[in-house]
Structure 1
């Protein structure tokens, strides 16, 4: 099999649009954050699989920034693609757009970055193709990715230290 050594960001693009129904909302009449986070992980995992053309696992949800509420009169459109890669890891950006269906007004409702790791048939990390940005948005995200990767690395070290410090004992038992 001839593996590609590089791919364009747009080759991993996933677009998903859904209606917001009353059962999808919370007591503030806005889309449940957890529901949106599920959508985000779903589309991001497809982008990672398209880029690596193999199995992937979510290594981290680096950020989810809720910028404006998503309500039942909206549709919610998620666009995801791979913005940067390490050796076996892939950073995926997800842009969430709310559209008022009656007027067509669209606005950025949230953004998210996730990291996935590509796995081979033995469930070991495997090399992924480099990513080539083309659009202004892709180039900007690609050029700022190394800083986010460093922040991820530092956050992971802190999480590991925290896990060691707190353990699994229940303080109330």
Structure 2
């Protein structure tokens, strides 16, 4: 499936660049449609693999999002998405990002149900995509093996400084949900991008853009009428980048019951008037717990940098493959 979205001024930051949260919302829209089309029943986003934004989409340009299925399990569907920015006047395209998402087919009771579809790769190129999807599935299974315990971790996260922590409460309204009265994941990703950017902007005292989103797993769906409690807190400061943790708790205001929905880490970069990165004020930890937070964030940063070039190379490879097959517009 290929969808085209036009970047309008209402979608952009003051520098004319598309907000990362808008892009994430659009990607979830396209992948959700494709997953539902394959499953022929409602699907819920279970995970979003690490996401890097390699180039911005500017106002007046188009975001071309192509989605395809990599793997189908018993009740899950693995999809990939290639996003390109298109300048319609110059007739030029450039790579924006490559994304991998996993959906689960569910019944009306929101429990997983069999998809009833099987796919098999037929060419060496398809086999490579298929094998990559299996590797991601194994890594995800290892990552979420304790998810049943994580659901009950509803404690507020601790950041470097309280003044760079924002708590956002939002009631899930009818315009926020899908056909089975669960919060649309694209709306949640847009909200998290906004609140993490708020924290980063507060620290940088200037505009920021989303550079990457770490792997994000969803432990439990959020229902119509429940409250989203989104914590966003500063966990790392680099030369021009900041890491902000987003932790989401859902709350039933009638019963008082709370459940941990997801935790993710957003990397945002301070940019100047030309859109290039600019330095931020250094942060020097003084407490042992602050030093521990920074050290843990340094490890995540190192993993991101190691994966970035491989991510870029793989994205270009997939881009060429789709062009050869005539699947990309």
Which TM-score applies when normalising by structure 1? 0.83
Of 46-55 and 56-65, more deviation after overlay is shown by 56-65
Q: Greater strand share, 1 or 2?
A: 1
CA distance in 2, matches of 1:41, 1:149: 18
3-state SS of paired residue (2:308) = helix
Which structure 2 residues correspond to residues 57-96 of structure 1 after superposition, within 5 A?
Answer: 57-96=209-248
Matched, 1:50 2:202: yes
How far is 1:157 from its partner? 1.1
Give the deviation of 1:139 after TM superposition.
6.1
Greater relative contact order structure (CA < 8 Å, 6+ sep) = 1
Partner of 1:4: none
From 9, 21, 24, the equivalent of 2:176 is 24
1:101-135 CA-to-partner distances (Å, cap 9, x unmatched) read 10222222111111111012333211112344869
Bigger radius of gyration: 2
Secondary structure (helix, strand or coil) at the match of 1:167 reads: helix
CA distance in 2, matches of 1:40, 1:30: 17
Of the three residues 294, 308, 312, the one matched with 1:142 is 294
* Structure 2 unaligned spans of 5+: 1-159
Kindly tell me: are residues 49 and 122 of structure 1, through their superposed partners in 2, closer, same or farther at Cα, counting changes over 3 Å? same
Task: Give 4+ residue runs of structure 1 displaced > 6 Å after superposition.
Answer: none
Report if aligned partners of 1:9, 1:134 keep a CA contact under 8 Å in 2: no
- How many residue pairs match? The answer is 165
Q: CA deviation at 1:150?
A: 1.4
Task: Tell me the alpha carbon deviations over residues 3-33 of structure 1, each in whole angstroms, 9 at most, x when there is no partner.
Answer: xxxxx53222222111012332224432111
1:172 aligns with 2:322: no
